[in-house]
Amino acid sequence: IIHWYKQKEGEAPERLLFFSGGKVTTESGFQANRYLVERISVQKQCVLTIKDVIPDDAATYYCACWDPHLWSSWIKYFGMGTKLIVSEKGSSPPANSEILQKKLENQIMYVCLIEKFYPEVIRVTWTDDKKEVTDNVVKGDTWRSTKEDEYSIASWLTVPAESKDKKYYCKYEHEEEKASLPTQVDSVKTAPQEEDCRTVFNRGNLLDQLMHRTAYLVYIILLLKSSMYYLIVLFFIYR
């Protein structure tokens, strides 16, 4: 049984319908004739089609299904979600994409900057020659450019200085375009060491995002360390 949920921004998700035995059961409040569900067993896919889209359909849609867990309980697993944006404006691919490089003391920071695309939904990942890289990767939130209805995003990867000759790729997927940017090419811009860091990362307030993210992580680490010390002290006191 495949369930479909609809979640509008700032609201709790609500079940839209569920699909079982080739039959679609729509929850009250939704027009059943506007939703078509098709299950493709060979490809392990379930496709939801919304007909005659209206502005109120703008939301993030999730598929979900129940699965037995440890033979005693059930867990409902959700998909990653698909964001639907209803707009009269046509979509447009990124107008510019590049990788900025900054050498730190014992590290190298690669910043993948993707600018001026619409809509704001985009997926950005880092890979090496073999697999996706997830360690030491931070993805920023999309921000609106000075021009209305154009968005930009940045993602940065930090690697040890000894990996300077290793090639990494920043990959992005937008509904209008897919691309892969390598780090070891002439287009990678390196900031002079004497240049102010703010000059390098001023576009889109990228430095502010980095500082905010770093401060947040440091705060979490200090909070965890304080909690650990507190528990140790309590242990010896009550012992």
Using a 10 angstrom Cβ sphere, with 0-12 exposed, 13-18 middle and 19 or more buried, the burial of residue 7 is middle
What is the model's pLDDT at position 112? 94
Phi-psi region of 152 (alpha: psi -120 to 50; beta: other; left: phi over 0): beta
What's the pLDDT tens digit per position in 6-42? Answer: 999 999 999 999 998 888 999 998 988 999 999 888 8
- Provide the residue type at 86 as one letter: V
pTM value > 0.75: no
What is the model's pLDDT at position 70? 66
Domain 96-182 has CATH 2.102.10.10: no
CA-wise closest residue to 142 among 134, 124, 154, 156: 154
What is the model's pLDDT at position 60? 96
Q: Are 46 and 2 in contact (CB under 8 A)?
A: yes
Residues of the chain with pLDDT below 70 are: 70-72, 147, 185-225, 229, 239
Characterize 76-98 residue by residue with b for buried, 16 or more Cβ atoms within 10 angstroms of its Cβ, and e for exposed: eeeeeeeeebeeeeeebbbeebe
Structure tokens at 139: 């993805």
Give the bridge partners for 97, in sequence order.
Answer: 114
What is the model's pLDDT at position 157? 93
- State the first-to-last Cα distance of the chain, in angstroms, to the nearest integer: 54
Q: Which residues are CB-contacts of 125 (< 8 A; sequence separation ≥ 6)?
A: 132, 170, 171, 172
Query: Same CATH topology for 2-84 and 96-182?
Result: yes
Structure tokens at 209: 């995002």
The CATH architecture one would assign to domain 2-84 is Sandwich (2.60)
Domain layout of the chain by residue ranges: 2-84, 96-182
Tell the residue number behind the tokens 């006191």, with chain if given: 237
